[in-house]
A and B are shown apart, each in its own frame.
Chain A
Amino acid sequence: GQNIDQPTEMTATEGAIVQINCTYQTSGFNGLFWYQQHAGEAPTFLSYNVLDGLEEKGRFSSFLSRSKGYSYLLLKELQMKDSASYLCAVKGDNYGQNFVFGPGTRLSVLP
């Protein structure tokens, strides 16, 4: 079957670094995506990994290990506006053209 796991909630302090983990078991693999979703808003694209390693984009970085079925999203220099849910999604072989989304991690950034 298909399964994506993420922690339900995390809390961090403004200016700190936080790592949000995602583990997956899917039928095939064609890329892993991270989305940010503020309360009451649509998810917005953050990052995409299809090869092993770290992809850095400003304050956000995403890491992938395909052999371990593992990814993380790293947020540096946290800001209050980073308080949101972070969704991990995997595009596998057997899902047609759609992704399987994890339950999301609700991050609260405290002053």
Chain B
Amino acid sequence: GAGVSQSPSNKVTEKGKDVELRCDPISGHTALYWYRQSLGQGLEFLIYFQGNSAPDKSGLPSDRFSAERTGGSVSTLTIQRTQQEDSAVYLCASSLVAGGANYGYTFGSGTRLTVV
């Protein structure tokens, strides 16, 4: 696609429920990243995928968080047993090569998750 697409744009869920967030990167971009942005905070790295390499999961805050990337394209971030502190905007970004060369990433518009 022309840009990075994320869905849903907004998600309200009850504490304890599982949620799935989807990211469709720019076609041909081999690297895909998930970040979390809490209100008034900077972007917090969660996980990144590069081609067929094992993902870098070093930023996932707990074992309730997991992510997959199927066929080197679409990625799904899953949060199990959601907690109120999981409320944030979840941003996905992709780049043509790992590290994004001189132009950094192209971000999606994010999914605003609210856990009530």
Contacts and interface: CB of A to CB of B under 8 A. Distances in A.
Per DSSP, chain A at the interface is loop
B61 to A, nearest CB: 15
Interface residues of A, number: 26
B43 A87 contact: yes
Contacts of A30: 99
A42 B56 contact: no
A41 B45 CA distance: 18
Given A44-B107, A48-B104, A89-B104, A98 B91 contact: no
B98 interface: yes
Contacts of B58: 96
Interface of A: 4, 8, 30-31, 33, 35, 41-45, 48, 50, 87, 89, 91, 95-104
